[in-house]
Amino acid sequence: MTENETPKGVSVYDLIGVSLDQFIEVAWVKMGLRADPLTRSESIDMNEAKVAIDIASRFAETLDAHLEEDDRRRVQSLLSDLRMNYIRKSS
C-alpha cells in the first residue's frame, strides 16, 4: 500500500466467509468426526450439527455471487461432504 492509499475495511462478506468456515468446523465437531478443539474430546449432537450445516448453507448462498469460481466449488464441495456425512451419521 502506498502512503496515499486508504486501508480497506473488513467487508460484511469477509465476515460471512470467516463465519462460514467456523460453522463448517462446528458441524464436523458436532457430528463427532473431529475432536472439539476446546475439550479435545468427541461429543456428538446431531441437532446442533444440522443447525450448523443449515447456517453454513445460508452463508454460502449469501456469498455465492461474491466468490470466484474455484472458491464457489470448494464451498459447495465442503457443504456436500457435510450433508453426506450428516445423513450417514443420522442413519
Reported as a single tens digit per residue, the pLDDT across 68-79 is 999 999 999 999
pTM: 0.87
Q: Are 23 and 55 in contact (CB under 8 A)?
A: yes
Residue 5: inside a domain, yes or no? no
pLDDT single digits (tens) 13-33: 999 999 999 999 999 999 999
What is the domain range of residue 33? Answer: 12-90
Show the cell assigned to 51.
Answer: 443447525
- Structural domain count of the chain: 1
Q: What is the DSSP letter of 32?
A: T
In a 3-state reduction of DSSP, which class is residue 1?
A: coil
Residue 44: inside a domain, yes or no? yes
Distance CA 17, CA 67 (A): 10
pLDDT single digits (tens) 27-59: 999 999 999 989 998 889 999 999 999 999 999
**How would residue 1 be classed by pLDDT, with cut points 50, 70 and 90?**
low
Q: Are 85 and 31 in contact (CB under 8 A)?
A: yes
